[in-house]
Amino acid sequence: MCGIVGYVGKRDSQDILIEGLKKLEYRGYDSAGVAVFTQNGLEVRKTKGRLAVLESALGEKPLHGSIGIGHTRWATHGKPSDVNSHPHTDNAHKFSVVHNGIIENYMALKDELIAAGAQFVSETDTEVIAHLIASVYEGDIVKAVQKAVSRMRGAFALGVLTEYEPDKLVAVRLASPLIIGVGEGENFIGSDIPAILEHTRNVYILNDGEMALLTKDGVELMTIEGNFISRELFHVDWDITTAEKAGFDHFMLKEIHEQPKAYRDTMGARLNDEGTAILLPELKLTAEQIKSISRIHIVACGTAYHAGLVGKNMIEQLARIPVETDVASEYRYRSPIITKDTLVIVVSQSGETADTLAALREAKRCGAHVLAITNVVGSSVAREADSVIVTWAGPEIAVASTKAYTSQLIAFSLFSLYLAQTLGTQPASAIAETIAAMKKLPEQVESILARGDEIKVYAEEIAKHQDLFFIGRGVDYAVALEGSLKLKEISYIHSEAYPAGELKHGTLALIEEGVPVIALAVQEDLFEKTVSNVKEVKARGAHVLGLGQEGHEELPKAVDQVFSIPRTVSLLTPALSVVPLQLLAYYASLALGHDVDKPRNLAKSVTVE
């Protein structure tokens, strides 16, 4: 996720671009840049680091001109650096592009452009766009952008300038948000409404497959095929704070709703064109090295640890390699047995978690190959690991992790299937079937989110209680742990998760009349045993919410209330079943009047032991 802003009008664009980027910095903050038409032509200024670094550089040497584009970056392709920052240009510096999203076929396009003489200076997929537009330009920037976009596969929002037509700004949307702000004698583009709200409240919200041509005198909307569109302006009556959250009351709720996009982006270019195989070019392990792996250690903290528990199940079932999962703060102190045949997977949203970093360094000292799963390109974990799978969830603002966790589940799914594919432990047909199910997950999550009011009613009821229990078996237990953590983090309700089969070994003593129990019964092969455990807590007076898959007739008979998730293959169910639990925690916290985004005593990234 990155932030885009653009301006064309009569005023000096630099300050407008910087102020717009400040409103979008929550979308990305590892680098920033602007491109402005000045009396010297198209000039670009960009820097690694927070927006303040760019602002300082422009303060010393400003760019004066009335048309420009700006960008604040959350890296996906290429580490954070000056050269990888946006905007990007072609070799002649006649075209400039800012981009939010992922170009899935950028490597093929890059090879083709290099063969035609293009010289690349960055590691990004975005630079491909600038060279591609330059290669097809024949005097009409709109047609050139349309030709280029027809060659690109992925999800993207673009802002494009060319020195050949210095009064025009072109914007394109395909699966990444982009809005057009309409003023008097000036017009704007932005990734989100906050970027332009200071200047206008009249906007066009582009739909997928649409683009716009902006001049200071007007805006033309069209499809990327060139068909013109007529649309009424939307008048924004939100305040700035609400606009930053895209109309949601809290960042946490916004991020819960961003999960379908995070799923799509994390899968992205990691599926082949046919959707039958996994591609992980970022994995620096040969097939021979993979075949030599004798054991895997997954090391993480908190929510990432819970993702690791699901990952353990996935790897063992699909690749048949034994896996140990450890809390990072304990890992070094138990003298783990690490050999050159051990693969160590460290998981961290921020990539800066102190305990996880320490575990990574210990694993490397012992000669293990370390794979990092992280949400931050250029983080310490990403820099120090041997291989990195980036979860393209975009920045998380809320302290309680939601989309970062579920993106980690997608990363583990991809990696587990890749191992199975390489080792031959699963038939190709089974792998293709699981991939097909993965591709349906975003739409299935959207269907769960559409039923949020059902969860809200139950959450308001449990907010009246001081204690609550989650039970489940297999990966349902791993999800129960995450659901319980979310509830504790932001509602402060005492909550515990237990393996359902352990109830008779002491936990039943805690069950009394009226206590809420959330029973995850999503695993079909464990369903009957879980229902048996549900009957045990029901017999002792518990009020049970059952979480199961659609179409199951037995669960409603065993519990007091049911919430059903769409059907999918067993190992992928955590990516769906956790979503109602995230909403449960959110609405319970809301009912209790707590600060959802900033729970007491907690920080987003734990950078000390």
Q: Annotated catalytic, 366?
A: no
* Phi, psi angles (nearest 5°) of residue 195: -60, -30
Return the residue matching tokens 């009020």: 543
Task: Identify the CA nearest to 348 among candidates 394, 310, 381.
Answer: 381
The answer to whether the beta carbons of residues 98 and 74 sit under 8 Å apart is: no
Quote the CA–CA distance of 142 and 322 in Å, as a whole number: 55
Q: Annotated catalytic, 364?
A: no
Quote the CA–CA distance of 351 and 27 in Å, as a whole number: 17
Exposure class string for 308-339: b at 16+ Cβ within 10 A, else e:
bbbbbbbbebbbebebbbbebbebbeeebebe
Task: Identify the CA nearest to 562 among candidates 573, 543, 546.
Answer: 546
Strands (E), 135-236: 154-162, 169-174, 179-182, 187-190, 202-205, 210-215, 218-223, 228-229, 234-235
Quote the CA–CA distance of 609 and 600 in Å, as a whole number: 19
CA angle 5, 7, 13 (to 5 degrees): 105
Quote the CA–CA distance of 119 and 539 in Å, as a whole number: 72
Helices (H), 394-474: 403-423, 428-449, 452-462
Quote the CA–CA distance of 310 and 397 in Å, as a whole number: 24
Name the catalytic one among 94, 439, 456, 604.
604
Return the residue matching tokens 């820097």: 47
DSSP string, 231-266: -PPEEP---HHHHHTTT-SSHHHHHHHTHHHHHHHH
Residue type for position 48: K
Name the catalytic one among 2, 23, 46, 245.
2
Active site residues: 2, 604
